[in-house]
Amino acid sequence: MPVYDRGYTHWEPSGNRAWPAWWVIAKRGIAEPIKRRWLLVLLLFGFIPAIVKGGIIYFKLKAGDIVDLLGGGWSSIEPEGFLTFIEGQRFFVFVFLAIVGAGLIATDRRDNGLSLYFSRPLDLNSYIGGKALVVIFYYCLITLLPAYVLCLFSYVIAPEATGLDLLLLTPLRVTAYCLLTGGSLSLVLLAMSSLGTRSIFVMVWWTIMVSGTETVGAIAEGLGKGSFQAVNFLGNYHNAGSLLFGGSPRLDLNPWISLLIVVGWTVAAIMVLRSRIRPVEVVS
């Protein structure tokens, strides 16, 4: 049937406000991984460390200081103890971000999706912002959300806990750290994704960036070469976090140097994204 035989209906405004473009991109990117059942199972495993820390805090009330000797920072409800918990989540951060973020831009480049995106009223910042929100969401899901629950749980069961610390100050520290770290990690991962067209290769680069540099940092620490720990990618984020949470540095490196390294990675990622993703115009 010819198209003109179907008639033409004039457009009528629905009165509903359109969602921003970045939110539409983020919403779809967040919803897609949830459809994979095995990813939900992996997410449940990601909450096991929070359950372990909660159990350690509970048994500390029963067994006293002996749990501090066995559990280390995991038995602490001080701000530094929550940084220790987030640091302990680095394996799940590595895995989840690789699964969720590796193909966010690489797939669009492989399928020529950038032309489709930018043929609409969409600017570069909205595109990158929407993609970054996907990574930030899953990062916070396995770091920020369990930390919130642990703060509430610790306040309920620990007699020495104060509401000002566990219900306000510590959650604010955790929120600031997770949002800033998640934002930086998302930009770095998206920059890697923009350099390739295959998710598997981006995952390999991400593995080298996270696991490879952590191994080099551990070897450097064993050899007494503290300055070489500057290559520890995730370690620098945790080390810089000690400025916010207090306590001892996580690496044999000044936390301010780690902060500069993190800022350097973030700026480099933004430059890569701006050079690799170029809005195009569709000319009829």
Residues 6+ apart with CB under 8 A from 96: 42, 43, 46, 138, 139, 141, 142
pLDDT attached to residue 179:
96
CA separation, residue 61 to residues 77, 159, 166 (Å):
12, 9, 17
Helix (H) / strand (E) containing 192: helix 170-194
Q: HSE of 230 in the Cβ direction (CA atoms, 13 Å)?
A: 13
Cβ-contact 166, 77 below 8 angstroms:
yes
pLDDT attached to residue 68:
53
- Rounded CA gap, 28 and 36, in Å? 14
Cβ-contact 184, 265 below 8 angstroms:
yes
Both ends of the chain: CA-CA distance in Å?
26
Q: Which of 78, 77, 54, 56 is nearest to 67 (CA)?
A: 56
pLDDT attached to residue 64:
58
Indicate the burial class of 85 (C-beta count within 10 angstroms; 0-12, 13-18, 19 or more).
buried
Instruction: State which residues of the chain have pLDDT below 70.
Output: 1-18, 62-74, 225-226, 279-284
pLDDT attached to residue 230:
86
pLDDT attached to residue 9:
61
- Rounded CA gap, 82 and 80, in Å? 5
- Rounded CA gap, 202 and 110, in Å? 13
Query: C-alpha 248: how far from its chain's center?
Result: 23
Q: Which of 4, 203, 8, 22 is nearest to 101 (CA)?
A: 203
Buried b (16+ CB within 10 A) or exposed e, 256-269: ebbbebbeebbeeb
Residues 6+ apart with CB under 8 A from 254: none
Q: How do the domains of the chain map onto residue ranges? A: 19-276
Dihedral sign (CA 177, 178, 180, 186): positive
pLDDT attached to residue 8:
55
